[in-house]
Structure 1
Amino acid sequence: MPAGKYEILVVDSSAANRALLGECLSQLGDVDVAFAQDGGEAIQQIAARSPSLVLIDIHLHDGNGIELVRRIRNREILKDESEFSLWMPVIFLSPLIDDDMVARGIIAGGDDFLHKPVSEVILLAKVRAMLRIVGMQREIHAAHRRLKQISTLDGLTCIPNRRYFDDTLNTEWKRCQRTGAPLSLILCDVDYFKQFNDIYGHQAGDLCLKAVANALSESLFRVEDSVARYGGEEFAVILPGTDLRGANAVGERMRTAIRDLRIPHTQGIKAFVSCSFGVAASRNLSDCPAEQLLRSADQSLYQAKKRGRNRVETLAPAAQMASLT
């Protein structure tokens, strides 16, 4: 839905009532209206549309509105989301309203009651009031998202940081474990970076890390792949759904991209900045934690440095299996 637009879901078993409410709500220029004739259809619409506001008749063909709201709120509680969910206000519509009904409706998760037949003036006023709150909530949610993005970005290189890497690795590990897909990791280290800083200074070192980070990012062609600054001159890459052969290919593409930068380094490999890469992959994630895959990638990186740097290394199959058990 476009920014600034709201969607209202009207749940009423009467086609005439739905049409009447829809005609009234259409006077609000920033609103789209959807309809459901019973609780089952309402749940489907909410799952598909995530409306900004729901109007529910207290009497439905397949149950009462209070029970429907209880189901809606229970569904919200059971959602598995990394971010908090937007609050969805609910207004009940009823021809009879007493204290007991109001109490039960509010306890179930409703937010207001309107008497039927609904006054057009009151309905529009109530809806506008609720949507003002929804609008403020959207602003808070957007600010929260921006703060979260800032908290997971490395201040120097502007790529994700170690916190992001740890969270993403945990998430992708669980997803690949659930689906049976392979998961690969690459650890990358800038060769002789201490010497680079000693020769050219820390400001040049910072520029070097920025250039390396950008080259690594541009070497990833899939949206699900990610690279993060792991710490100092080290970077880490998560490749969900990629096997060892594919991860090695990505590592080699990254190695070439760094060399193509041709950043001078008198004590580097052939007088230019280069990187070493350690690769690890696993398809069976059920018996070992993510830390073991990370340890295997780290051992591969150590092997790359030991064998001369500026190379992509993977542990021999037997050694990799040993590190993953």
Structure 2
Amino acid sequence: MFDQPTSGKHKPTVLVIAPSAANRTQICECLYQLPDIRTIATGDGKQALTIIQETWPSMVLLDDTLQGMDGISLTRTIRSWEQSRDEADFSPWTPIVLLSAVNDEDILARGILAGADDFLYKPVSEVVLLAKVRAMLRIATRQQEICAVHRQLKEIAILDSLTGIPNRRHFDDTLAAEWKRCIRTESPLSIVISDVDFFKQFNDIYGHQAGDVCLKAVASSLSESLFRVEDTVARYGGEEFVAILPGTDANGAYAVAERMRLSARDLCIPHQQGIGGRISCSFGVASTRPSIDKAPQQLLRTADAGLYAAKRAGRNRVALNQ
């Protein structure tokens, strides 16, 4: 393997895969004229796959006459890996240009069908090679920018703008998905719904800006009370929050709710009309084993009834509604 020395670790990387050392050297020397890229070269197909997995180059120049693995098969493998690396519902894409000494339309067609983006016939013109590399990297850069924007837009779509935790839309989607998954795995599913006690009075006394700061702090404390990655807490609306606990039974959900209650209480946010002179939350807990003859809205209504029971009992407490 040959790796062009570079001080810019974040430069676009072009991987040259060619069995002939002379061809690799010639191509790399040509690419040196592009100071904003890093070049890696190898003549071994298996080593090329390792390099791709470890570095994921910005572009691949691939000779179709590799020993042990032809360029078209390697192209298919790269495209398959890209699909498995699908991020945020937006597949990554690496430009692949095949290098061939044979001007054969059938080979060209098979290469394109396998996932190659372009062909260059050997011997490759230096001017054409540099132009192709510049064009492909320009397209790849724009695709990466689009991918980044796509991820940002998706995050915006599922996050509550005030608290930064998932919003009601994300909660609804997650509950539906977890309900189906728990049916398949025959696992329990629990809901914890909470409400900031006397929040209207808090806003009346301290103002809505202070109320926003309070909600952000409470949301953060509730999120930090969840220790499993599969658990989700979302802003349900106003001063209400809701947590989805897949694979958790009633006792486990009650313990989580109690941890959340203490976490919110430990914020020690002053509230003249609150319980003990500070902010607190009330919690309703419900648990079930999902089945096709039930609906997730039933579980949510049961948890909501538990929340009202906690409030009627004096607030700052957890009520499990069976």
Bucket of the pairwise TM-score, normalised by the shorter protein: 0.7 to 0.9
| Alpha carbons 2:16, 2:24 under 8 Å: kept | no
| Alpha carbons 2:203, 2:211 under 8 Å: kept | yes
**Following the alignment from structure 1 to structure 2, what is the Cα–Cα distance between the partners of residues 221 and 4?**
34
Corresponding position: 1:158 with 2:173:
no
Q: In the alignment, which residue of structure 2 is the partner of 1:260?
A: 266
Written as runs of structure 1 = structure 2, the 5 A alignment for 1:201-280 is 201-221=207-227, 225-239=231-245, 244-280=250-286
Q: In the alignment, which residue of structure 2 is the partner of 1:31?
A: 38
Equivalent position SS for 1:278: strand
How many pairs are equivalent? 312
Q: In the alignment, which residue of structure 2 is the partner of 1:323?
A: none
Corresponding position: 1:189 with 2:195:
yes
Equivalent position SS for 1:93: strand
Written as runs of structure 1 = structure 2, the 5 A alignment for 1:82-97 is 82-97=88-103
RMSD: 4.0
| Alpha carbons 1:22, 1:33 under 8 Å: kept | no
Judge which range, 213-222 or 86-95, deviates more.
213-222
Output one character per residue of 1:170-204: Cα deviation in whole Å (capped at 9) or x when no partner: 55556667777765432111123334445554444
Output one character per residue of 1:20-74: Cα deviation in whole Å (capped at 9) or x when no partner: 4785488356435375744x87667656654422233334556654455456546
Corresponding position: 1:310 with 2:316:
yes
Equivalent position SS for 1:33: strand
Give structure 2 stretches of 5+ with no counterpart.
1-7
Q: TM-score, normalised by structure 1?
A: 0.74
Equivalent position SS for 1:87: coil
- The alpha-carbon distance between structure 1 residues 50 and 169, as it changes in their structure 2 partners (threshold 3 A), is farther
Q: In the alignment, which residue of structure 2 is the partner of 1:145?
A: 151
Judge which range, 20-29 or 296-305, deviates more.
20-29
Output one character per residue of 1:78-110: Cα deviation in whole Å (capped at 9) or x when no partner: 876542112221101100124454344334432
| Alpha carbons 1:11, 1:42 under 8 Å: kept | yes
**Following the alignment from structure 1 to structure 2, what is the Cα–Cα distance between the partners of residues 94 and 158?**
52
Give structure 1 stretches of 5+ with no counterpart.
320-325
Q: In the alignment, which residue of structure 2 is the partner of 1:322?
A: none
Identical aligned pairs, as a percentage? 57
| Alpha carbons 1:18, 1:35 under 8 Å: kept | no
